[in-house]
Amino acid sequence: MRQPFSRSAVLATAVVTALLAAGCTGTPASQAPADASAPVTIKFWHGWSQPHEVAAIQANIKAFEKLHPNITVVSTPNVTDDKLLQGIRSGSGPDVVSSFTTDNVGLFCNGALTDLNPLLQKAGIDKNAVFVKTMVDYTQYQGKQCTLPLLGDAMGLYYNKAMFAAAGIASPPKTWSQFSADAVKLTKSRGDSYSQLGFMPNYHGYNTTPGHYLAQYGPSYFTPDGKANLANDPAVTTFLKDQQNLVKALGGYTKLEKYRATFGDEYSTQNAFEAKKVAMQLDGEWRLANLKQDKVAFPYAAAPMPVADDRADTYGAGYVTGTVAGISATSQHQAAAWEFLRFLTTDTNALVTFANAINNIPSTVAALKSPQLLQDPTFQTFVKIAGNPDSQTTPASPNGGQYQTILADFAYKVEAGKVQDIQAGLRDVDRQIDTATAQAQG
């Protein structure tokens, strides 16, 4: 199964910088509604590539063209962000685009894609009422709504019910302290390795990235004026120490890394959770499709990821990200492009059928509540996480996900015990992020 947000945004940064430096932000065509009789062809570039994904996209295109017989949509799959931006710069590229990563929203909003706020207002669409709150957050930057959420991903905790029962654990943990205690209780050491690990806490363990963890602590990555705020937010220091302590409690960094080296490919039957090497795993809703496809025999379930001890009242929230879509600023068919984008992102049936087909979460409040959406209890756990008002995402920035990379590089050193003063280290991280931001803004 596809994991949308795993694609790096950093590689696209140079392309966007070149686009903006060249001043190729385009001259949008009329924002008037598309003429119901004038034929027009628009180009839609997106990143989906697997046969069932492309088929689902084509089904929605066909449904749209039936509603708008004068508009023909030509779809191009498997397009990366750098290719999207090169196409926009050329002026002969896509009219509508979809990106797998929210990291590039800040870059897209700096001239590559059209600000959709006027179109939303004219259409009478209240984005804060129609779309899931967290998904609105990651589709805008500095007041510009240059993308809309298409499908989403939510992170939660998968757990092996048989292992829980054998360890005498009645229910999934809700706070970090409970989580740490359960992880230790579920761990069985065997010499310098394990016969069973409660949880793989290391940051290179599939989806256990700093950003996915940190959402459970309610961080403030930036100040209102855009300055890095990691050193000033006590939640970040607490998070780093909590994770470091869990690493120690489970046997130490070296022992865990040696065990992690035995894990199979994330999208194979040798995934550590499927192979019963771990009892709990931080993962997304798409994992359910893998578990079913691979006919996993042991009983499993999913729950929200535990939250920081001082945020117990926010349990149920999680990290949310997803796929975004927008209109090229160089498109000469923006009226028709808007009709297509609005259909893709707000039509309940289109969203639900697409979400069911590729095992992702729809992005509107109405679609989340649709009885036609997959009702599997495990999947619905992630639907509830996505709709939780306390769920968080990583904010947009002008340099893609570079600030996340800087934080992750530091977190790797912390978990390995190479950092003596976390607070001083975070101050340096903030300086690096601010420098990178200044460079991106020219």
Does residue 139 sit in the same domain as residue 173? no
Owner of token pair 């689902």: 56
Does residue 188 sit in the same domain as residue 240? yes
Does residue 289 sit in the same domain as residue 363? no
Tokens at 289, concatenated: 């499709």
**Residue at 407 is within a domain:** no
Does residue 71 sit in the same domain as residue 184? no
Angle at which helices 402-415 and 234-249 cross, to 10°: 40
**Residue at 395 is within a domain:** no
Does residue 145 sit in the same domain as residue 228? no
pLDDT given at position 35: 54
CATH number at residue 198: 3.40.190.10
Asked whether the beta carbons of 385 and 287 are under 8 A apart, the reply is: no
Last residue of a domain, one of 284, 314, 344: 314
pLDDT given at position 235: 97
CA distance linking residue 209 with residue 219, whole number of Å: 15
Tokens at 347, concatenated: 């039509």
Does residue 172 sit in the same domain as residue 299? yes
Does residue 340 sit in the same domain as residue 271? no
Tokens at 270, concatenated: 């040798």
CA distances from 51 to 98, 265, 274, 289, 361 (A): 17, 21, 24, 15, 19
Q: Is 374 left (phi over 0), alpha (psi -120 to 50) or beta?
A: beta
**Residue at 86 is within a domain:** yes
Q: Which residues contact 133 (CB under 8 A, 6 or more apart)?
A: 389, 391
**Which DSSP letter does residue 308 get?**
-
Domain extent at residue 265: 155-314
- At residue 339, the 3 state secondary structure works out as helix
- In tens, the pLDDT along 51-107 reads 999 999 999 999 999 999 999 999 999 999 999 999 999 888 999 999 988 989 998
Does residue 103 sit in the same domain as residue 144? yes
**Residue at 110 is within a domain:** yes
Residues of the chain with pLDDT under 70: 1-36
| pTM higher than 0.85 | yes
- Residue 159: phi and psi, rounded to 5, are -145, 150
Nearest Cα residue to 158 out of 349, 313, 309, 290: 290
Neighbours of 315 (CB within 10 A): 18
CA distance linking residue 392 with residue 316, whole number of Å: 11
Does residue 182 sit in the same domain as residue 278? yes
Does residue 149 sit in the same domain as residue 162? no
CA distances from 131 to 149, 180, 271, 367 (A): 8, 34, 33, 9
